[in-house]
Structure 1
Amino acid sequence: MRHSRLDFEYRGASQSDARPLLVCFSHLRWNFVWQRPQHLLSHASERFDVVFVEEPIFEAGAMARLERKRIGPSLQLLVPVIDPADAHEAVWILQGLLAQELDALGHTTRIFWYYTPAAIAFTSELPRDLTLYDNMDELSAFKGASDTLVAQETALLGQADLVFTGGHSLHAAKCDRHPNIHCFPSSVDAAHFARARGSVTADPADQAAIPHPRLGFFGVVDERFDADFLDELADLRPDWQFVILGPVVKIDPAGLPRGPNIHWLGPKSYAELPDYLAHWDLGLMPFALNASTRFISPTKTPEFLAAGLPVVSTPIVDVVRSYGEIGLVEIAETPIQAVLAAEALMARPREPWLTQVDTRLAGGSWERTWADMEAKIMAALGIPILASYSPPLRETA
């Protein structure tokens, strides 16, 4: 790791030579599903110049290049494009492309922010002043994960100056593997989802004809989604309607249940979600209990709550610990338990439950989470934070 002279003042100035460069390496596409990386890096771009590097796209006959897209004044997307014939040299190609790009940007200070340990293969030799690993998921447990991810994560932890985890379970699993690790669970843009309260928005056209009660899920439908659980729920209550929003990835859509009361409405933008949730009666989180969900901390939990929707979830550890034990989310191990919990929730008055929800969510905004993270980043860099900077707003593990 390179240690440059940190000879600029941290004022959030607009000039690139007065702002740190934050380079994020992600396994997620920026335009896939709006979640943790997009929230945090959007906040980061207020004081940093942010470059979001996606995984490469392989295009037959392509000349190796980086495609650029400006997302905001201080946030740009880089997508490597490589000919499949050169895949065996992808590490060297990516390293060369990035080295040239980052040098051309000319920043005094570089921060490398990793979501995927796989990126260590082509970045380990590139100079930077701080290496940060935001461990939001246990990627090695996901379907189709490379066998090399575990070794790559070990290498990344060895290089990292600072490690964040996306939930308490991940923190507990990794806390003895790094001396400077901090837990930052899923946060929420409460104002965005609060639009769903009161059903003041028009029911979207593809949902309007669906009867009530409506129980809904939004998010990626993959190996973490328990399709059998949903299928049995739908059979147990044929008069209930189950609305599923989100892309289907890594699993065969033909294997998903297709009962008359199950409605697969496909992906929706982050901006659209409150319009759908405003017309649901209950939030449903039918996560499978397997290796891929052992450490998850679903962002949709506080988002459902901010929308004012009661929630039934399968017993995901971080959901139980953060929301189930204090009565904000009902936990159900089996479909019949989920039915009984849902019946009770839909019959229960929303107050004083909503008051408890709002109290719990008040300390968990993405803005506050980023403020805490940023303070730790600047401390690790040894850069004094000026008085105009907001201090950390909560203690992290």
Structure 2
Amino acid sequence: MSWAGPYQYEIGKSPDKPETPPEVIFDEQIPTLLCLSHLRWSFVYQRPQHLMSRFARDFNVLFFEEPIPTEDAQPWLEVRPEENGVQVLVPRLPQDCEGETALRVQRDLLDGYLKKLGVGELMLWFYTPMALGYAGHLEPSLTVYDCMDELSAFRGAPPELVERERELLKRADLVFTGGYSIWEAKRELHDNAYPFPSSVDVAHFAEARRTQADPDDQAEIPHPRLGFYGVIDERFDIALVAEVAKQRPDWQFVLVGPVVKIDPADLPRRDNIHYLGGKTYDELPRYLSGWDVAIMPFAMNESTRFISPTKTPEYLAGGCPVVSTPIKDVVRTYGDTEIVHIAETPEAFIQAVDKALADAEDRDRLLKTADDILGDMSWDHTWALMKEKMQCAK
């Protein structure tokens, strides 16, 4: 089957669209920043959401996601305005629309919507090189590649990703990276690459320092609690958590987040391991407030070689000591801070948690040290520096 435009552009939230669709706000007098992302806006609130919400103060921000199958006979574009001014665009493609046909349809949907809006100056912001398949024909005034992770090392990565990234690096005016380790790799491939490691919304997570009621699904869990929030995927060291939980049955592991790309049946199941599922960004400080130690049990493999976890400064902003496996960017940034403890083996992890529990008892020192570490690690600061680089590159 072939599909021919013009396609539909439907405003509202799928699958149950509101009776009164939210208003699409677009100012033709200011530039448009089109963000092309492999991450969904509503999945986990992280780097793209923090940055695009701030860029929406100066630009029309369009956040174009990967397609979602639809039972409709014709493709259409879901347009979902967010409260912060960002427009989320989701291509909805029929089940049998695949391969080159799917890329053409996404290209047509995107072109049609840009024309409908009357976009003048256009800038592109890539999170995934695979977006070149449907956006590579556009002629932006500026192209930014914000390389959060080494996506080619992730489970299920398309085989053509490496070649697409090479092409994107040739086109990009600027390359930003999510940490120093990945910057050291990308700066060999691009002359205008800058490291922008994990930042933090300090005020948001500092709410965890305030004594407050536990969420219902955490309230009955005893102390001490070792907490983690984030995506539970191939980067999560299942074996490490299982062994530590076995050796210390008095410790309670509170794991908050969706399970992705791994079989839930492979997760360790013990009375002291609690899977609470995904939570919203606004809910996270309440969970963090009830933890004694925050943990980052990342596996040491190719998928974690270049990561710079945003969780580290968030946990510290919440006033919680941290125990992490030896992720390179965590070690180099926080390894000598005395409140972020590094451990790889189960035995070392247990010793590190004991030290972290002792940290928590001297709360004044813990909070002062955390505040000294955080300094100007704010998303506002990162956004301002990125904007400055963009102005210089145009």
When normalised by structure 2's length, the TM-score is 0.91
Match of 1:232 among 223, 243, 255: 243
Partner Cα separation in structure 1 for residue 122 and residue 85 of structure 2? 14
Residue 270 of structure 1 aligns to which amino acid in structure 2? Y
Q: For residue 223 of structure 1, report the CA deviation from its aligned partner.
A: 0.1
Query: Identical aligned pairs, as a percentage?
Result: 53
Residue 188 of structure 2 aligns to which amino acid in structure 1? D
Higher mean C-alpha deviation, range 264-273 or range 321-330: 321-330
Report the equivalent of 2:379: 366
Partner Cα separation in structure 1 for residue 358 and residue 50 of structure 2? 34
Task: Confirm or deny: 8 A CA contact 2:33 2:123 kept in the other structure.
Answer: yes
Q: For residue 61 of structure 1, report the CA deviation from its aligned partner.
A: 4.0
Match of 1:148 among 136, 160, 164: 160
Higher mean C-alpha deviation, range 340-349 or range 204-213: 340-349
Structure 2 counterpart SS, 1:182: strand
Report the equivalent of 1:4: none
Count residues with an aligned counterpart: 367
| Matched ranges for 1:1-397 at <5 A | 16-72=27-83, 74-88=85-99, 89-198=101-210, 200-348=211-359, 349-381=362-394
Structure 1 counterpart SS, 2:216: coil
Partner Cα separation in structure 2 for residue 282 and residue 41 of structure 1? 31
Q: For residue 15 of structure 1, report the CA deviation from its aligned partner.
A: 6.8
Task: Confirm or deny: 8 A CA contact 2:126 2:144 kept in the other structure.
Answer: yes
Residue 303 of structure 1 aligns to which amino acid in structure 2? E
Task: For residues 156-183 of structure 1, give each alpha carbon's deviation from its aligned partner in whole angstroms, at most 9, with x where no partner exists.
Answer: 1111111100000000011011111111
Structure 2 counterpart SS, 1:273: helix
Structure 2: 5+ residue stretches without partners: 1-24
Report the equivalent of 1:5: none
Across the aligned residues of Structure 1 and Structure 2, the Cα RMSD in angstroms comes to: 1.3
Structure 2 counterpart SS, 1:295: coil
Partner Cα separation in structure 2 for residue 130 and residue 62 of structure 1? 36
Task: Confirm or deny: 8 A CA contact 1:19 1:107 kept in the other structure.
Answer: no
Q: For residue 379 of structure 1, report the CA deviation from its aligned partner.
A: 1.8
Structure 2 counterpart SS, 1:170: helix
Q: For residue 352 of structure 1, report the CA deviation from its aligned partner.
A: 2.4
Task: For residues 130-179 of structure 1, give each alpha carbon's deviation from its aligned partner in whole angstroms, at most 9, with x where no partner exists.
Answer: 11100001111001110010001011111111110000000001101111
Partner Cα separation in structure 1 for residue 144 and residue 126 of structure 2? 6
